[in-house]
Structure 1
Amino acid sequence: MSSETVPKTPYLIVRNGRFYFDMRVPEDVLDAYNAKFKRNDGANRETGTIRVSLKTKDRKQALRLLGEKLSFYLARFDELRRSDDAEADFQAKVRRHELSRLSRAELERLVFGYYRDVLRPAAISPPIDSEDRAELVEEWTDTLARVQDRRDEEGNERVQNTADHVLLKAGWPSTRTKVKDTGPNPPGIEDGVQIIARHLATVDVDRTAERYRDLIGLVRRASVEGSRLALAQLNGTAFMPADPLFATGFNLADANDKLGPLISEALALWKKGSGVQGGRKPRELTAMEAASAVQRFKELHGDIRIGEITKKRVQEFVAAISALPSRLPKKFSKMTLPELLREDLTAYPQRAPATINKAFTLLSAMVEHARKRSDLEEASSWPNHFPSAWVEGDDNEGGDREPFSSDDLKRIFVDGPVHRQGKRQTGGRGEAQYWLPLLALFTGARLSELGQLRVCDVQADDGGIAFISIGTSGGRKVKTKTSIRKVPIHPELKLMGFLAYVELRRGEGGAEATLWPLLRSAEGRAHTAAWSQWWGNYQGRKPISIADRAKVFHSFRHLFKDMCRDAGLSEDVHDALTGHAVGRNVGRGYGSGHSVSRLFAEMSKVKAPVDLSHLHTTKVASADPGVL
């Protein structure tokens, strides 16, 4: 069923010609609303939206009915707030220690209350004399600098203590921590003897929880705005609120709508694609990379709304992720971005500009998608500063990939312990470490394509010519439609025993078995991610020692293209072998493409720039190298 958004008319959509009232329940009353009203009221408990048919196809009548519905539901939300149902629901969550169930709006309300009742009165209290004024200016200036700098230990401690205070004031359960008494003992008790310790009340909360980090981010924002207000008062200058959350007369529910979805909600919306049947969705690996970028952004700034992503926040994010190394050592892998920034990371190689810029590209795409899909008039004013945040870099800084040289191939296949000495390393995942580099060299296939291969993906055409089927069967993923192809087995691979290895795997696991039974990565990562990391370490260590950051596993693909050109293959043939698009020549898109036998004849002309005959096996050397 198709859906169309009516422009410049919030809360109104049309489906199959019929108009519907459509709005989101404010987060601060969502749980109370779901508890009090039944599903047949038009609310969806899972999505938090109300969608009710206006039972008309006439736009004028729909606009009149829209006003009635909007007034009805706004009054209902106000009634919930006045009846204290939302407050009672919040207090119930507090009593049950349900920090994860606190909504963003409830956290914002907590922190806004702290700003209004504590920070703002303190900021506008006039000093007694000039000496006090100077001392207060110094104190507030120091506070502002510390809470803005996420690397400042004292500032972070201040923010955390404030967040704990906000929770305790709201009624969050506390725990008492024993503290040893370090002062002099009372008369009659020898010094050095430990006596009854003092007990300090602290909030009983999981400080590693994501909702607690959201609270920390909001408290930091309140501390920054309160410090700015105090300095403006002390210096006698006009105060202009920089953070909409703490602006005078701020209406939380109204502002949340106008500022758009949270960045986490924008990610979820972007991952769904256009919503049209058959519409394009981001690839799984791309979605994982986008989720990683959003997570890092949230760690730095919290799960803020699209309309709150200012240029300054983007610039701070640029500086932060640019400081991260290309590969995080294991001891740092579970740290948040602010925690990482407090570590000394100078000993590790920096990220390539292309890697950093990809994160900005994905975040920018999410913002634009949220704008496009929103029916709010304010959506056009939501900022998107991510495109201007691109990091410039030279070609030699790792942004581009370069093919392996002849000397590199000798180091890998002649001197390397895996191919020369037959050694197997744990991170190389069994026979994957032997065959994946050779397959990449003689097919030009991507690592992700090779890592998904099963026994049944090595096939033969009617003439018995062996080929690798790269496609989407069996749950496999490809980069683009042109990536689906048939790549003949190079004669060198047959002489090295690749087809014999395939038959060995067939006997062990059957036709559906993977070619690489030990190949795996952690949940949520690409299938070949861990292996790719191992390869980077393997090629960088002695005796291979390829330290050029522009040379990675993908360099085999670049080298294969050069090998095809050196062999005199036409562009359309080696594009067919590597799965590249056919460019602007429309005629190439007609027909079913080159036959396997034709491609094999062309593939046989391709030669590696080094002699690899030491990898041939005697059992297959006398057989026809092209036939399965």
Structure 2
Amino acid sequence: MGRMKFVQRRAGRYEFRFPLPDDLAGKPAPPPWPEALAALVNKRTGRFKTEVIRSLQTNDGPTADRRVLTHIAEAHRLVDQARRLLSEGPEAGISVDQIAALARDHEIHLLGTDEVIRTKGIGLDMAREDGQGPHDGLGMTLDDLRAYRMLIEELDRYTRQQVAQMRPGESTSSFVNRAVEARGIALAPDDPAWRQLELAFAKAQRDALAGIRARLEGDDVATPERPSEQRPAEPIGLALSAALRLWSEAGGAGARRPQPSSIAEAERAVRRFIELNGDVPITAITKAQARAFRDALVRLPKALPARFGRLPFPELLKQDLSSYPRRNAQTVNKTLALLSGVLTRAERDGHFEVLPAWSNPFHIGFDVAPAEREPYEPFSAAELQRLFASPVYARGERPLGGQGEAAYWFPLIALFSGARRTEIAQLKVGDVRQGETGIWYLDITNEGADQNLKTASSARSVPVHHELIRLGLLGVVATQAKLHPLTAPLWPAFAPPIDPKAKAWTKWFGRYIGIHVVDHSAKTFHSFRHTFKRACREAGLSEEVHNALTGHAGGGVGRRYGRERRADGTLDCGIPLARLQKDIDKIIYHNVQLPASDRQGIKDA
């Protein structure tokens, strides 16, 4: 049996595909067109689309055939309305109910805009010193609050005066003009409805400002949902799964793409959201759905037991998970931030233009306690001493989870370079190289296959510390160079894809130090980076130098001045490699007995 008309299958899911008739397809849409017809009009070109596509949210053929019936009826209704618009022009006149609905929309728009402003903040900070960096976009500063409160109080005074005088001002008239035009309503210049609309809008603005003033005093005033009758039963628009693809693909060659680990996490988050809500159009996602999703994530444990791993999200939430440690607020916030990023990309592409006061529904992260925002702590001398007295270093053991020599070298390289876990794991044989002046250095880059960096400033050259040379790191590199090409992984167990292997290794290391060194959530592999940073300060290294060694951003635009191109075509960080080597070799860990060297390093190159 053939598929029902207007149903197509794409990427394993069924869609409703409705070609517009020839008398509409591609024809100019006379402005203003009613908002109800926005689904048929390309806003950028001002012409009717050639077809309408929406997801049927199923991969089952019979279900798709049933669901498409309502879409077909709705599409024909919109086509009839569009033809009336072309033949008869915009709707003339306006009813009392329409006036009330437009005014209510204005109030919702103002409250929604306020919510966006206060969520992101403005960034005013009179006490901030130059070079301190931009505002983090997480709420308002005290100066934001003072300035915004003064503005709202003045607007409130002005609006109440308009209502008291029954004489709306020019700003109110402009709001009314835009609203009437957006709905495709035609009013004669002398129509009494203009005055009714302006008075209704002034009162709606007064009510919205009263709510905003209450918010500024710390009260919880919700932005009302738009009445359901103003929304199509199933909004037309980009599905969440399609928005994820656009975000992850990021554009053509040379476009900045999200990290593979971020893409994988975002895919898991989207899959779980879809399992709860369906693959809904992004314009239909509400804050209520986002809050419910956030609260469901809180119920999940830090690590899912194997027997629960394949359960759909709704089924997973029915299980008794109370005996497992819960994930923390930062982890939940990270998931919400990824979903927020997916929708922000779609917003830049114009997919929310049909919503006049859209705010990102996933901007609902938890306030994290200050003590939890920076959970990592450096290792103490006593803890480092216990590490180097543990079986890997004292007895030469190589546990299966430690992936051979990685168990020995990863902690040492991190301790003497400040490199991140993934930066070490993704090193190629040719990434440990010798410069023109004879200095050996780690070329931390994203140039190779499956190599990624956290930020642009993470690309850097880090001289190999003299202790790593003493312990034989260069000998390891030389051995690998004899056996493999320079583009091969330096650590054979970490061939692409690297990210899942690096995560598995980190879990092993967490268990290992929990047994042999210290069992504390603030002490992880990332603690080596903090340990190195602290050692840089103790050795008297300037902030500019140790930022260059660790790949931290800082120093403003001036930091990029003075960069010199090497013989291989790459740019240095603006600080000569000899200076970096001299400074990094000042780093010493007092009261720590490092491993004895039983490896033959390259002493002369």
TM-score (norm 2): 0.61
Q: Given that residues 400 and 550 in structure 1 are in contact (C-alpha distance below 8 angstroms), is that contact kept between their aligned partners in structure 2?
A: yes
Q: CA deviation at 1:495?
A: 1.2
- Pick closer, same or farther for the CA change 1:272–1:543 going to 2, 3 Å: closer
SS at structure 1 position matched to 2:492: coil
Distance in structure 2 (CA, Å) of the matches to 1:47 and 1:485:
50
The separation in 2 between residues aligned to 1:293 and 1:444, in whole angstroms, is 31
1:344 pairs with one of 314, 320, 323: 320
8 Å contact from structure 1 (residues 401, 551) kept in 2:
yes
Counterpart position of 1:256: 235
Q: Does 1:558 align with 2:530?
A: yes
Structure 2 residue 334 is matched with structure 1 residue 358: yes
Contact 1:441 1:560 in 2 (8 A): yes
Tell me the equivalent position of 1:591.
Answer: 563
Distance across 2 between alignment mates of 1:422 and 1:578: 29
Q: Deviations over 1:98-132 (max 9, x none)?
A: 9736499657558999xxxxxxxxxxxxxxxxxxx
Q: Does 1:504 align with 2:483?
A: no
Distance 1:418 1:335, change over 3 A: farther
How many Å apart are 1:486 and its aligned residue? 1.0
In the TM superposition, residue 50 of structure 1 has moved relative to its aligned partner by 8.2
In structure 2, the residue corresponding to 1:514 is in which secondary structure?
coil
Deviations 1:395-445 (A, max 9, x none): 44475322222222122222x222222111111111111111111111101
Q: 1:449 to 1:277 in 2, by over 3 A?
A: closer
Distance 1:335 1:596 in 2: 52
Alignment check: 8 A CA contact 2:489 2:495 kept: no
Partner of residue 424 from structure 2, selected from 444, 450, 453: 450
State the partner residue of 2:308.
332
**Separation in 1, partners of 2:334, 2:510:** 20
Please tell me whether residue 430 in structure 1 is matched to residue 389 in structure 2. Answer: no
- How far does the alpha carbon of each residue in 1:574-618 deviate from its partner, in whole angstroms, 9 at most, with x for none? 111111123326255333312222211111101124423433237
- How far apart, CA to CA, are the structure 1 residues paired with 2:49 and 2:435? 68
Note the aligned Cα RMSD (angstroms): 4.4
Kept in 1: contact 2:7–2:65 (CA 8 A)? no
Instruction: Indicate which of 249, 262, 265 corresponds to 1:272.
Output: 249
Kindly indicate whether residue 522 of structure 2 is the aligned counterpart of residue 543 of structure 1: no
Equivalent position amino acid for 1:560 in 2? F
Give the 3 Å change call, closer, same or farther, for CA 423–378 of structure 1 in structure 2: same
- In the alignment, is the contact (CA less than 8 A) between 1:354 and 1:399 conserved in 2? no
Aligned residue for 2:469? 494
Aligned-pair distance for 1:533?
2.0
* 1:390 to 2:389 alignment: no
Displacement of 1:525 in angstroms is: 5.1
Partner amino acid, structure 2, of 1:537: R
Deviations 1:498-524 (A, max 9, x none): 111112222232433212112368x79
What is the deviation of 1:452?
0.7
Structure 2 distance, partners of 1:447, 1:463, is 28
Among 59, 66, 85, the alignment partner of 1:100 is: 59
Give, in angstroms, the shift of residue 619 of structure 1: 4.4
Cα deviation for residue 386 of structure 1 reads 1.4
Preserved contact between residue 425 and residue 498 of structure 2 (Cα < 8 Å): no
Change (3 A) 1:548 1:409: same
Match of 2:507 in 1: 533
The TM-score with structure 1 as length reference comes to 0.59
Cα offset for 1:568? 0.4
CA distance in 2, matches of 1:283, 1:48: 34
Residues 403, 488 of structure 1: CA spacing in aligned structure 2 closer, same or farther, 3 A cutoff? same
Hey, what's the Cα distance between the residues in 2 that align with 1:461 and 1:50? 63
Amino acid at match of 2:331: T
SS in 1 for 2:487: coil
Secondary structure at the counterpart of residue 459 of structure 1: strand
1:411 aligns to 2:411 (yes or no): no
Q: Cα distance 1:583–1:315, how it changes in 2: closer, same or farther (>3 A)? A: same
Aligned to 2:356, what secondary structure does the other structure show?
Answer: helix
Task: Measure, in 2, the Cα distance between the counterparts of 1:306 and 1:573.
Answer: 45
The secondary structure found in structure 1 opposite 2:461 is: strand
Change in Cα spacing, 1:584 to 1:425, as seen in structure 2 (3 Å) is same
Instruction: Tell me whether 490-499 or 65-74 shows the greater mean CA deviation.
Output: 65-74
1:483 & 1:29 partners in 2: Cα distance? 50
Q: Which whole-Å CA distance do the structure 1 matches of 2:599 and 2:342 have between them? A: 56
Residue 31 of structure 1 aligns with an amino acid whose one-letter code is Q
Paired residues of 2:429 and 2:477 also in contact (CA < 8 A): yes
Tell me the number of residue pairs that the alignment of Structure 1 and Structure 2 aligns: 426
Letter in 2 for 1:504: T
Report if aligned partners of 2:375, 2:522 keep a CA contact under 8 Å in 1: yes
Distance 2:427 2:513 in 1: 23
Contact 1:271 1:281 in 2 (8 A): yes
SS at match of 2:414: helix
Distance 2:359 2:335 in 1: 17
**1 CA distance for matches of 2:331 and 2:255?**
27
- Look up the match of 1:482: 457
Paired letter, 1:355: T
**Stretch deviating more after TM superposition (498-507 or 368-377):** 368-377
1:69 deviates by 11
Partner of 1:225: none
Structure 1 stretches of 4+ with a deviation exceeding 6 A read 45-52, 58-72, 110-113, 247-250
Query: Is the 1:309–1:383 Cα contact (8 Å) retained in structure 2?
Result: no
Q: Which runs of 5+ in 1 are unaligned?
A: 1-26, 34-44, 79-85, 91-97, 114-241
Distance 1:111 1:411, change over 3 A: farther
- Listed as ranges, the gaps of 5+ residues in structure 2 are 34-39, 73-224, 565-573
Q: Percent identity?
A: 34
Tell me the distance in 1 between the aligned counterparts of 2:254 and 2:356: 27
Preserved contact between residue 392 and residue 408 of structure 2 (Cα < 8 Å)? yes
Closer, same or farther: CA 376–470 of 1 in aligned 2, 3 Å: closer
Partner Cα distance (2:62, 2:420) in 1? 43
1:378 is paired with a residue of what secondary structure? coil
Residues 411 and 340 of structure 1, relative CA distance in 2, 3 Å threshold: farther
**2:595 and 2:48 mapped to 1: Cα distance?**
81
Does the CA contact (< 8 Å) of 2:428 and 2:489 recur in 1?
yes
In the alignment, which residue of structure 1 is the partner of 2:192? none
Q: 1:607, 1:103 → 2: CA distance?
A: 70
1:575-586 to 2 correspondences below 5 Å:
575-584=547-556, 586=558
The residue type equivalent to 1:579 in the other structure is G
Q: Report the 3-state secondary structure (helix = DSSP H, G, I; strand = E; otherwise coil) of the residue aligned with 2:479.
A: helix
Q: Any residues of structure 2 matched to 1:44-443 within 5 Å, and which? A: 73=50, 100=59, 102=61, 108-109=67-68, 255-257=234-236, 260-273=237-250, 275=251, 278-374=254-350, 377-387=353-363, 389-397=364-372, 400-414=375-389, 416-443=390-417
SS of structure 1 residue aligned to 2:547: helix
Q: Deviations over 1:54-81 (max 9, x none)?
A: 9xxx99999999899977957xx89xxx
